[in-house]
């Protein structure tokens, strides 16, 4: 059986890192036929919307996509291509597993946690007005239904993956209604899962706690903006943005992507680390039930990282993207 998967190469380092991922998955025997679709700044430059309808249709049809990072055209009043993708397809869960990797030096070892970010609401709802010249209002959207559905996803995920604790994160003291609704939805759903330890903590406490001792966390559930920031903080715990994978998941539809952006400072130089998108590709294989292929690729990655000879600059090595990619393929 061959799976058809939508591929959005993206902007900046996107084509380099998605290209590397496609090569490695092919070498691992992944039965994928890519359907290449436009998105981001490059789509805009071809006269399309930053998140074109044809791309959304392709993902809807295939039910699964892999994407590189997308830039959003500046100054045109455009909704971010990523926000549009997540809202249009209701990919309401940002799933970001954060784990230490062998051979990757970082402040902590043995980090193994999951950040779950509500992807469709919060301050990213895009409701912003200039009410009088120079005075802007940005509204934070927080519906009970959105809180309930991601809480359900979080508990089902914890049960399926053997995770023992979920921490819901909030700023309820300053946003009692918006953040209060999110925490209450979590508690409502949580009542059905007494076997999972449940706690709520302020965003400040979670940020400090992660810096001091990440092992105290298992699954962290956050609203959109908080999740965006805490994801990058967590990437910093395990070696940086070059190594953390992710996915945007809705009901029976998912788009896999790294946490990082287009990295304009290194785009086109052949030095970007493909690992974050590659590990997103492994999550995608697992999502499709292809655990054997995902594990093969992960084993090859671990061997290359442990040997330390062909690792990219962000991890302290000297290899370019292609050298790393070839090393993983060789190992496969």
Q: Which residues bind ligand NAI (CB under 6 A)?
A: 13, 17, 69-72, 82, 241-242, 257, 260-266, 272-273, 276, 314
Closer CB to ligand NAI, 166 or 263, in the complex: 263
Closer CB to ligand NAI, 85 or 181, in the complex: 85
User: What is the nearest approach in angstroms of ligand NAI to the Cβ of residue 123?
Assistant: 15
User: What is the nearest approach in angstroms of ligand NAI to the Cβ of residue 222?
Assistant: 16
Closer CB to ligand NAI, 115 or 185, in the complex: 115
How far is it, in rounded angstroms, from Cα 128 to Cα 139? Answer: 6
User: What is the nearest approach in angstroms of ligand NAI to the Cβ of residue 190?
Assistant: 29
Closer CB to ligand NAI, 20 or 166, in the complex: 20
The continuous run of DSSP H or E covering 219 comes out as strand 219-222
Q: What is the largest CA-CA distance in the chain?
A: 61
User: What is the nearest approach in angstroms of ligand NAI to the Cβ of residue 171?
Assistant: 22
Closer CB to ligand NAI, 96 or 149, in the complex: 96
Q: Which residues contact 182 (CB under 8 A, 6 or more apart)?
A: 118, 142, 147, 168, 170, 223
CB 259 within 8 A of CB 235: yes
Closer CB to ligand NAI, 19 or 71, in the complex: 71
User: What is the nearest approach in angstroms of ligand NAI to the Cβ of residue 258?
Assistant: 7
Please name every residue paired with 4 in a beta bridge, in sequence order, or none if there are none. Answer: 33
Task: Please identify the residue of the shown chain whose CB is closest to the bound ligand NAI.
Answer: 261
User: What is the nearest approach in angstroms of ligand NAI to the Cβ of residue 201?
Assistant: 25
Closer CB to ligand NAI, 100 or 273, in the complex: 273
Closer CB to ligand NAI, 241 or 283, in the complex: 241
Question: What is the per-residue DSSP string for 156-176?
Answer: HHHHHHT--EEEEEE-TTT-T
For residue 296, how many C-alpha atoms fall within 13 Å in the half-sphere facing its CB? Answer: 16
User: What is the nearest approach in angstroms of ligand NAI to the Cβ of residue 67?
Assistant: 7
For residue 220, how many C-alpha atoms fall within 13 Å in the half-sphere facing its CB? Answer: 32
For the beta sheet containing 32-36, the strands, ordered from the edge strand earlier in sequence to the opposite edge, are 32-36, 3-8, 64-67, 254-256, 247-249, 93-99, 112-118, 219-222, 165-170, 197-202
For residue 102, how many C-alpha atoms fall within 13 Å in the half-sphere facing its CB? Answer: 11
Please name every residue paired with 36 in a beta bridge, in sequence order, or none if there are none. Answer: 7
SS percent in the chain: helix, strand, coil, step 5: 45, 20, 35
User: What is the nearest approach in angstroms of ligand NAI to the Cβ of residue 5?
Assistant: 18
N-to-C CA span, the chain = 21
């Amino acid at each position: 059986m061959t799976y058809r998967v939508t591929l959005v190469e993206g902007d900046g380092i996107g084509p380099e890192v998605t290209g590397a991922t496609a090569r490695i998955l092919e070498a691992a025997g992944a039965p994928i036929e890519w359907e290449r679709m436009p998105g981001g700044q490059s789509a805009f430059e071809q006269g399309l919307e930053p998140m074109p309808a044809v791309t959304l249709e392709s993902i809807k049809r295939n039910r699964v996509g892999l994407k590189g990072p997308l830039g959003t055209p500046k100054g045109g009043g455009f909704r971010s291509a990523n926000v549009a993708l997540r809202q249009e397809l209701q990919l309401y869960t940002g799933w970001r597993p954060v784990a230490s990797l062998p051979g990757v030096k970082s402040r902590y070892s043995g980090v193994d946690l999951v950040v779950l970010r509500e992807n469709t609401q919060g301050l990213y709802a895009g409701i912003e007005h200039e009410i009088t010249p120079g005075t802007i209002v940005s509204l934070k959207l927080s519906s009970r239904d959105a809180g309930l559905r991601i809480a359900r996803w979080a508990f089902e995920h914890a049960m399926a993956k053997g995770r023992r604790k979920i921490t819901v994160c909030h700023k309820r003291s300053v946003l009692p209604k918006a953040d209060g609704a999110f925490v209450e939805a979590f508690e409502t759903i949580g009542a059905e899962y007494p076997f999972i330890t449940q706690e709520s903590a302020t965003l400040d406490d979670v940020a400090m706690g992660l810096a001091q001792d990440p092992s105290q966390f298992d699954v962290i559930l956050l609203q959109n903006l908080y999740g965006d920031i805490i994801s990058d903080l967590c990437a910093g715990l395990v070696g940086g943005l070059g190594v953390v994978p992710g996915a945007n998941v809705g009901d029976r539809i998912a788009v896999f992507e790294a946490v990082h952006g287009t990295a304009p400072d290194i785009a086109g130089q052949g030095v970007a680390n493909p690992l974050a998108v590659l590990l997103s590709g492994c999550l995608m294989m697992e999502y499709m039930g292809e655990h054997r292929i995902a594990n093969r690729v992960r084993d090859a990655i671990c061997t290359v990282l442990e040997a330390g000879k062909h690792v990219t600059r962000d991890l302290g090595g000297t290899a370019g993207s292609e050298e790393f990619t070839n090393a993983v393929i060789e190992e496969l």
